[in-house]
Amino acid sequence: MKTFCSVWLLLSLVELSPAPPASQEPPLACTGAPDPAPPQPETAEDMASTGDLEPTHYPARRAAQVALHYLNTHHGSPFRVFGLQQVHKASAEDVGAGGRKYKLDFSVTDWGSGSAGPALRCSADVLFPRTERHSAPEVQLHCEALHQINSTAQEDDAFYQKYISPDSAVSARDIPDSFGNMSEEMQPFWRLARVAASFIMLRESSENTEFNMAKVASVTQQESREEQLMLEFVVLLHDFPSQEIVQWKLLASWSPDRGVRVLQTEWQPRCPHATKPPN
Amino acid sequence: MRLYLAVFALLAAVHCEELFNGDQVLRIHAESENHIQILKKLERDVDSGLDFWTHAVSTEQPVDIRVPHSSLYALKDFLKKNNIPFTVIINNVQEHLVREREEMVRNAKMESKTKSFNFAAYHDLETIYNFMDTLVASHSNLITKVNIGSTYENRPMYVLKFSTGGEQRPAIWIDAGIHAREWISHATAVWLADRIATDFKENRAPVPSILSQMDIYLMIVANPDGYVFTHRSPNEFYRLWRKSRSATSNPKCHGVDLNRNWDAEFGGPGASDDPCAEDYRGPSAQSEIEVKNIADFIMSHGNFKSFMTLHSYKQLLMYPYGYSGTDAPDRTELHDVATKASKALNSWHGTVYKVGSIFHTIDQASGTSVDWAYLRGIKYSFAFALRDTGEYGFLLPADQIVSTARETWFALRYIMKYVCDHPY
């Protein structure tokens, strides 16, 4: 018994780690600017030029990403999210009233069908208005064979039936987790979050941003309304030029018939110690 | 010889515990034909109990004899009387065998540790540091671990040096993890370290020929404080941390973007002066100890020919400049090398990388490591942004680590061979 006590004491001494230095404690207040406006425009030479753009350079890619957000808001679902494969051709011109219009020829793939999925060819006009206050870009998009790709109707219906029941109350955090893991059950919710986030990303985009969804911080199912699945998401967006992580809370509805609709969005300051976003 | 001893060791272990206790191995240096004849006669005498490991042939080659303990005095006396010089090369064969066997067991354990190391998983700093030690122990003829200084929070910064000798040979620098949240870069570098070591050991081209002329320096974790911070919690504030962990002028915000803190157009557009920003450049160039340690190391070495840094994500292979859109003087060659490297990468798994300068593919960025290296005369400077293109981003699933590392290796190998073939 005595040896047991000394061993236990020894072990507990060994396991005690020093308190983390002050620099490691999360800040008392929240980080992040109060204004979620996009970063200052830089003196980027590419964007001043009119005419053909290099497809591998960022101005064309950013515009294509905007078109992709638009595509996902219209055609995304729990079993379909599109990703940019590559830009084939791009050009830009200044238009009246201080806007800039990009013409794009690009390919997308469905992330839902893995890397084996076929690529869809799309063309789009993306107009970035250059106004005092930020306003959303305008997109006109056409993708070949959009309605010919494999329908996900069966999976959509099965998913809908499973979660529309009154006692369904899905609640999860960190999708994916630190290691990129995501359960199969969570995948459709992750895609729905991505589609819903696309509404925000589309709205917030400018020539100086390049948004992507980094992760889903949380999903909380709300009471179904009008036969729609109601989901409250907290999503984290990553802006490539500034490298900032931007947090949004949103309320989205979905059904196989009506698709994704975003009902409320709320920008959130990033607080490390908050487990729930502030009201 | 090792195999011979190994067999003995096994036999001794299996049959007798103390078969060779007190026996010695003498090395005889015959100086004349007369000495050779004496030794030949000794060898023909089968009752002597002497065990000739090498034979008396000429005065050019020493003769090694294992001498049973009971015959030691007599033989030494005989050799002295005939003025035949000798030295004792193994003082006690049994002890030697025991030591050899222990070392073999240790090596086998080390090798199985690196063989059993899970490359298809993300590991914390301590595990990666242990891996480095294991790798060095398993390849002690090739790899050394260099401590180039401490971080802000006083953690050691290690570089693995792959070298077959020489003095300050022309060298290649590869670093990963300068941005803490880009976990695929550290994981890729861990795999690369093992791959370079294995390719050298198994004589797989072009690694041995590269290492016969150049040294490779591989820094798996360039931002240890940041990396530790990303492991503290799955909460995105920790896991998606990018910068260092230094205190700033703003008590609410910590850390500097280590890839904006280099002395290369520091202060220019493409970095922020707000301590709360993700691309905060810091109060001055090299204000961050992590950057200073690396810069000082490379400058004092003075003979680096290539500088490559691993980041994620976006699948890009980039060259200078970041701070400006004007073409670097070597732009044509760098673009060509990067293009061919990305084709090599693509050949493994079909992954498509885009090639271009940092400025044009990502955005204007000042104070970057690649610009710094290039402006210091290290011509072949490249930045990789590894998988993916945005689906998982920073949270790349672990099951993609090995394929990412392997395709990246194809590109790196091409570049290293090119650098080796194009000395300057």
pLDDT of residue B93: 82
The average pLDDT across A176-202 equals 97
Residues B364 and B322: their CA atoms lie apart, in Å, by 5
- B363 vs A contacts (CB less than 8 Å): 42, 44, 58, 240-241
Q: What is the pLDDT of residues A88-109, one digit of tens each?
A: 999 999 998 879 999 999 999 9
pLDDT of residue B133: 97
The residues, ordered by sequence, that sit 6+ positions from B321 with a Cβ below 8 Å of its Cβ are B328, B357, B358, B359, B371, B374
pLDDT of residue B179: 98
**Hey, of A35, A43, A57, which one would you mutate to test binding to chain B, going by the most B CBs within 10 A of its CB?**
A57
**What's the token pair of residue B35?**
């000495």
Give the pLDDT means over successive 10-residue stretches in chain B (424 positions): 55 57 87 89 84 83 86 89 87 79 70 80 97 97 98 98 96 98 98 98 96 98 98 94 97 96 97 96 98 98 98 98 97 98 95 97 97 98 97 96 98 98 96
CA angle B121, B124, B127 (to 5 degrees): 85
Residues A266 and B6: their CA atoms lie apart, in Å, by 71
**What's the token pair of residue A162?**
């499973």
3-state secondary structure of B145: strand
Looking at CA atoms only, how far is residue A180 from chain B in angstroms? 4
CB nearest to B389's CB, from A83, A177, A272:
A83
- B270 vs A contacts (CB less than 8 Å): 42
**What's the token pair of residue B120?**
């298809």
For residue B247, what is the nearest residue in chain A, using CA coordinates?
Answer: A23
Of B261, B255, B284, nearest to B367 (Cα)? B261
Interface contact B234-A240, CB threshold 8 A: no
- In the chain, the amino acid numbered B313 is Y
Q: How confident is the model at residue A33 (pLDDT cuts 50, 70, 90)?
A: very low
Interface contact A242-B279, CB threshold 8 A: yes
pLDDT at residue A23 greater than cutoff 60: no
For residue A176, what is the nearest residue in chain B, using CA coordinates?
Answer: B395
Q: What is the pLDDT of residues A52-65, one digit of tens each?
A: 999 999 999 999 99
Looking at CA atoms only, how far is residue A220 from chain B in angstroms? 17
CB nearest to A178's CB, from B239, B247, B278:
B239
Looking at CA atoms only, how far is residue A225 from chain B in angstroms? 30
Identify whether B388 is preceded by a cis peptide bond (ω within 30 of 0).
yes
pLDDT of residue B164: 98
Looking at CA atoms only, how far is residue B176 from chain A in angstroms? 18
Q: What is the pLDDT of residues A113-124, one digit of tens each?
A: 765 678 899 999
CB atoms within 10 A of CB B362: 25
Interface contact A245-B238, CB threshold 8 A: no
Looking at CA atoms only, how far is residue B397 from chain A in angstroms? 4
CA angle B244, B319, B291 (to 5 degrees): 25
**Hey, of B235, B243, B250, which one would you mutate to test binding to chain A, going by the most A CBs within 10 A of its CB?**
B235
Q: In Å, what is the CA distance from A82 to each residue of A78, A115, A188, A198, A236?
A: 12, 12, 14, 11, 18
pLDDT of residue B114: 65
